[in-house]
Amino acid sequence: MIELGQMQKLEVVGKESRGLSLQGGVLLPRQQAPRDLASGDEIEVFVYNDPAEGLLASPVRPKLLLGELAVLKVVDTTKFGAFLDWGLDKDLLLPHKEQAGLVVKGKSYLVGLFINAMGRLTATMRVYDLLSAGSPYQKNDHVQGVIYSINRELGAFVAVDNKYHGMIPNNEFYGSYAVGDQVAVRIKQVRPDGKLELSLREAAHHEIEHDAQKIMDRLKLNAGVLSLNDNSPPEAIKAELAMSKRAFKRALGRLLLEGAINITDTGIELNW
């Protein structure tokens, strides 16, 4: 049985002008066929469906197989969608309807592989159902991931190690990020269902000093004055300093104890 999108061993059943005929009606193009192969020999190949030539084989293992996820680079964008470099002569199509957010030529995105209604291998950025909840990680572990979707109300969805479910909640999602960005994150908690809640920040006791220094730096850039204090809305603090109101208040407390700042009705002032 021929399996599209997988590496498999197929027998050579004959030769033709275009290359070698393999079992199941698969063609191994002449330019990719080893010269010493003869009828009856087996070769491990990747099988895909070409719109013009039918079932084709390649002895090269692509960067992505059916059932896997991989970060692939966009080599072109057209009216049909984006084309991705997956290591074969013919690029992989990512149709517009399978894209999540803006897809930019030259950037890389996490994608999965599926067989479309026409029997062709196609890329998709809708990878949620391809991720696993069975990660080996624990609270406060540091991991790498890629953002595959952003919901401004919920946060950013992250594929940890390109295989595990993760999410940065909105109250932890600071800075300017886009779909396709790689992130270094801390595991805030492992949920009962095995999915990972993530943070771009360190644990609180590590962050106080960092946040306090950020406030001091911003004060110095603004002539010693900042129009934020305990009464400022969380949105204003997040926009100005990329931190939560809770983290802001912790850092203010640290700076007050050190005598570095004064709090006024309109904000904070550097205690020169």
Per-residue pLDDT of the chain (272 residues; tens, 9 = 90+): 889 999 999 999 998 888 999 999 999 998 888 888 889 999 999 999 888 888 999 999 999 999 999 999 999 999 989 999 999 988 999 999 999 888 999 999 999 999 999 889 999 999 999 999 989 999 989 999 999 999 888 999 999 999 999 999 988 887 788 899 999 999 999 999 999 999 887 654 456 677 888 888 888 898 889 999 888 888 888 888 888 888 888 888 888 877 888 888 888 998 76
- What's the pLDDT score for residue 56? 93
The answer to whether position 211 is within a domain reads yes
Report the DSSP pairing between strands 196-199 and 164-169.
parallel
110 and 85 in a common domain? yes
Domain with 50 in it: 7-58
Question: Is there a single domain that holds both residue 187 and residue 226?
Answer: no
Instruction: Verify that 52 and 102 share a domain, yes or no.
Output: no
CATH of the domain at 219: 1.10.10.10
Please tell me whether residues 214 and 228 are part of one structural domain: yes
**Looking at the domain assignment, is residue 133 inside a domain?**
no
In the prediction, which pLDDT does 200 show? 83
* Same structural domain, 159 and 123: no
> Is 225 inside any structural domain?
yes
**Domain match, 248 and 210 both:** yes
Asked which of 19, 38, 58 is the last residue of a domain, the reply is 58
Are 213 and 266 part of one and the same domain?
yes
Residue 64 domain-assigned (yes or no): no
In a domain, 38, yes or no: yes
- 222 CB-near residues (< 8 Å, 6+ apart): none
- Cα 135 from Cα 202, distance rounded (Å): 20
Query: pLDDT value at position 270?
Result: 86
Q: Do residues 195 and 209 both lie within one domain?
A: no
Q: Are residues 266 and 218 in the same domain?
A: yes
Count structural domains, the chain. 4
Q: Is residue 120 part of a domain?
A: yes
Residue 134 within any structural domain of the chain: no
Is residue 1, in this structure, part of any structural domain at all? no
Give the CATH number of the domain where residue 92 resides. Answer: 2.40.50.140
Q: What pTM value is reported for the model?
A: 0.70
Measure Cα distances from 134 to 64, 102, 129 in Å: 21, 30, 13
Task: State the CB neighbour count (10 A cutoff) for residue 20.
Answer: 25
